[in-house]
Chain A
Amino acid sequence: MMAARTSAVSAPLALCCLVLAAAILAPLAIPVAVSISDSLFVSFPPKGFTLRWYAQVMADRDFRSTFLFSVQLALLVTGLSVALGVPCAVGLTRFDFPGRQVVLGLILSPIVFPVLVTGVALLQLSSRMGVNDSFLQLLVGHTVICLPYLVRTVSGALHLVVPSSEDAARTLGAGPLTTFRRITLPQIRGGILAGCIFAFITSFDDYAMAMWLADARHFTLPLQIHVFIERSFDPSVAAISALMILFSLALLLLVERILGLNMQRIVAG
């Protein structure tokens, strides 16, 4: 995409970037360093070497159950967002209809509205309506904040589809559904996948919505980790952090393999 003629990175700029990169990655690296420390309290420099914090964390029932619950919730939310978002993106990019701009604004506004506020509003409404199914509330709430990302990435991908390929299929007699399935879908697969990853992470990482809607039986991982942070001062929280960072690293590799540097374009919109 970028012409290479302006590519030279000057030495001061490179140094500046390296320092910033170190600062950006430090909060991810420090917990890993602390997590193998053989001391009862977190302190610097880490002392000795032990893996017992990992063993302790892996055996923790709260950690395991909230992790599994968050993964399940994020998967369901992602599925729901795809079911609602992909048709919506097609409708918004391929057709013109009265109120299209309004719908577009509506779909994207949950990104602009603070999640915390949306969460409070959902909690107030559902408690006044007498709905207290925490799982349903979480599912709905997370879908509200994940759907916009999906519509945005899929719309972006739809704009990049070579128009003549769809035209050709239609001229050759393929119906709109066949054209979508055989011609459009393969071209926007990357966009859908990127949207799914976004939706998954948004749900999995969410604190500001879940703090209102979760209950004891439907507790999400970020809430649980916050409880651990407040409650314990030994390196076990650091071990959890390290495990979560490993999990993210695996996700990142997945993203890189599927999307490559396209991620940048998709994220930047």
Chain B
Amino acid sequence: MGLQPRRTLADGRALPLHALPPALTGSLLAAPAAIFLVLAFVVPIAEMVGYSVTAHVTQGTTVGGLTLENYARLFRSELYWVVLLRTLRIALVTSLVSIPIAYPLAVVLARGGPFWSRLVMFTVISPLLVLVVVRAYGWKLILAKQGFLSWLIKGVGLSASPPALLYTEWAVVIASAHVFLPFVVLPLAGAIGKIDPAVEEAARTLGAGRWTMFRRIVVPLSLPGLAVGVTLVFSLTASAYVTPQILGGNFAAMLGTLVQQQILSVNDWPFAAALATVLLAMTLLANLVLLRLFERRFGRWVGRGGGR
């Protein structure tokens, strides 16, 4: 991949760095960032996971010693189960909802002319620059009882008293899908852009219509991009805090809210560590399973079709 630096030069005017073997130069360059992340990322996470099995709180005091009590508690109490399942459900539904929204945008982004792809690019990227809190507030204004949506529905005459979506799981799903949409559209557009136009041309020559072409060529060949995007949306939604807080309130509390309560109100740090570990495991598992699945099933096709 990268070119190897020349160690010997014609005239020998060399900086000290020159004398170093490339392996050493490379590791020296990468070391500060790597050491920083070990200290500020790996160690804290390992400590947290360790803490979740070496301490628990009984009657207000923290007891040491190896224990699975924190995890047992999570599965024993119905309240925590409900939150855990809701987190999984909201993350899953959000991922599924974002697929049909992302495809048309990604196709136009990758295949549209300069005007259309620029327009879609602007629409998809610009929300990314606006604070998540502000975007969530925008949805709150839309979905509230006296909000924009119910005003619109009443104005069109669809219903005299439209249901308020705010403070329901659907509100969380809608806002999460919106906030994380760029993370599906962009990898998807990248995958679609890599499909060899000759394949589509061949299909067209053989008489395939637009829809057939989309179904038989674009979808299968862009699945790896879709897998990346959907996995990201799943993990980001499952571990979100502020969007569910603003749009779901206490009616759609998710795992993040639970962790926050345990630390800032109940002060039960070992249990919070266990909850955070579950959240982490969920995210990593989704990444592993989904990406592996797609890789195994579709890797073969893409390897051939993905010439740039």
A148 and B174 alpha carbons, distance in the complex (Å) = 28
User: Shortest Cβ distance from B98 into chain A, in angstroms?
Assistant: 11
User: Shortest Cβ distance from A149 into chain B, in angstroms?
Assistant: 12
Q: C-beta contact mask, A152-188 vs B, less than 8 Å → 1, else 0?
A: 0000001100010011001101011100000000000
The answer to the question of B40 belonging to the interface, with a C-beta cut-off of 8 Å to chain A, is yes
Which chain B residue lies CB-closest to A45? B151
The answer to the question of A192 belonging to the interface, with a C-beta cut-off of 8 Å to chain B, is no
A248 and B131 alpha carbons, distance in the complex (Å) = 8
The residues in A between 1 and 32 inclusive whose CB is less than 8 angstroms from any CB of B are 1-10, 13-14, 16-17, 20-21, 23-28, 30-31
Which chain A residue lies CB-closest to B263? A120
Which chain B residue lies CB-closest to A108? B37
The answer to the question of B110 belonging to the interface, with a C-beta cut-off of 8 Å to chain A, is yes
User: Shortest Cβ distance from B190 into chain A, in angstroms?
Assistant: 4
Number of chain A residues close to chain B: CB under 8 A? 111
Partner of A17, one of B105, B235, B260: B105
A204 and B129 alpha carbons, distance in the complex (Å) = 10
The answer to the question of A107 belonging to the interface, with a C-beta cut-off of 8 Å to chain B, is yes
Q: C-beta contact mask, B11-42 vs A, less than 8 Å → 1, else 0?
A: 10111011000111111111011101110111
**Are B186 and A93 in touch, CB under 8 angstroms?**
no
In the complex, chain A residues whose CB is within 8 Å of the CB of B38: 106
A189 and B140 alpha carbons, distance in the complex (Å) = 40
User: Shortest Cβ distance from A190 into chain B, in angstroms?
Assistant: 16
A165 and B151 alpha carbons, distance in the complex (Å) = 61
Q: Which residue, B130, B144, B200, has most C-beta atoms of chain A within 10 A? A: B130
**Are A28 and B123 in touch, CB under 8 angstroms?**
no
Q: C-beta contact mask, A87-104 vs B, less than 8 Å → 1, else 0?
A: 110111111111110010
User: Shortest Cβ distance from B176 into chain A, in angstroms?
Assistant: 12
* A30-B148, A97-B23, A143-B36 known; A207 vs B182 contact (CB < 8 Å): no
The residues in A between 197 and 254 inclusive whose CB is less than 8 angstroms from any CB of B are 201, 204-205, 207-208, 211-212, 221-222, 225-226, 229, 237-238, 240-241, 244-245, 248-249, 251-252
**Are B138 and A264 in touch, CB under 8 angstroms?**
no
**Are A2 and B193 in touch, CB under 8 angstroms?**
yes
**Are B25 and A117 in touch, CB under 8 angstroms?**
no
In the complex, chain A residues whose CB is within 8 Å of the CB of B108: 9, 13-14, 17
In the complex, chain B residues whose CB is within 8 Å of the CB of A263: 121, 125
**Are A268 and B273 in touch, CB under 8 angstroms?**
no
Partner of A93, one of B2, B28, B178: B2
The answer to the question of B242 belonging to the interface, with a C-beta cut-off of 8 Å to chain A, is yes
**Are A20 and B104 in touch, CB under 8 angstroms?**
yes
The answer to the question of B83 belonging to the interface, with a C-beta cut-off of 8 Å to chain A, is no
**Are A222 and B133 in touch, CB under 8 angstroms?**
yes
**Are A87 and B29 in touch, CB under 8 angstroms?**
yes
The answer to the question of B248 belonging to the interface, with a C-beta cut-off of 8 Å to chain A, is no
In the complex, chain A residues whose CB is within 8 Å of the CB of B71: none
**Are B28 and A91 in touch, CB under 8 angstroms?**
yes
User: Shortest Cβ distance from A83 into chain B, in angstroms?
Assistant: 8
Partner of A95, one of B29, B42, B118, B140: B29
Partner of A106, one of B10, B34, B241, B276: B34
Q: C-beta contact mask, B107-140 vs A, less than 8 Å → 1, else 0?
A: 1111111001111111111111111111111111
In the complex, chain A residues whose CB is within 8 Å of the CB of B88: none
Partner of B239, one of A208, A245, A249: A208
The answer to the question of A73 belonging to the interface, with a C-beta cut-off of 8 Å to chain B, is no
Q: C-beta contact mask, B33-62 vs A, less than 8 Å → 1, else 0?
A: 110111011111101100100000000000
A28 and B148 alpha carbons, distance in the complex (Å) = 13
In the complex, chain A residues whose CB is within 8 Å of the CB of B113: 4, 7-9
Which chain B residue lies CB-closest to A26? B142
**Are A97 and B24 in touch, CB under 8 angstroms?**
yes
Partner of B148, one of A44, A88, A116, A237: A44
Which chain A residue lies CB-closest to B245? A226
A255 and B122 alpha carbons, distance in the complex (Å) = 11
Partner of A94, one of B26, B139, B276: B26
**Are B131 and A122 in touch, CB under 8 angstroms?**
no
Which chain A residue lies CB-closest to B107? A13
**Are B241 and A211 in touch, CB under 8 angstroms?**
yes
**Are A24 and B178 in touch, CB under 8 angstroms?**
yes
* A17-B105, A226-B133 known; A27 vs B138 contact (CB < 8 Å): yes
User: Shortest Cβ distance from A240 into chain B, in angstroms?
Assistant: 8
In the complex, chain A residues whose CB is within 8 Å of the CB of B42: 106
15 residue pairs bridging A and B, Cβ less than 8 Å apart: A2-B193, A13-B104, A28-B126, A28-B130, A42-B141, A83-B32, A95-B23, A106-B42, A114-B235, A120-B272, A176-B15, A176-B18, A222-B242, A245-B134, A251-B129
**Smallest CB-CB A-B distances: 3 pairs:** A95-B26, A27-B138, A91-B29
Residues of B within 8 A of A (CB): 1-6, 9-11, 13-15, 17-18, 22-30, 32-34, 36-38, 40-45, 47-48, 51, 101, 104-105, 107-113, 116-142, 144, 146-148, 150-151, 175, 178, 181-182, 186-187, 189-190, 193, 197, 200-201, 210, 235-236, 238-242, 245-246, 256, 259-260, 263, 269, 272-273, 276-277, 279-280, 283-284, 287
Task: A9-B108, A248-B130 are known; give 13 further A-B pairs, CB within 8 A.
Answer: A6-B111, A13-B107, A34-B141, A87-B29, A87-B32, A94-B3, A120-B276, A125-B47, A141-B40, A205-B131, A211-B241, A241-B137, A264-B121
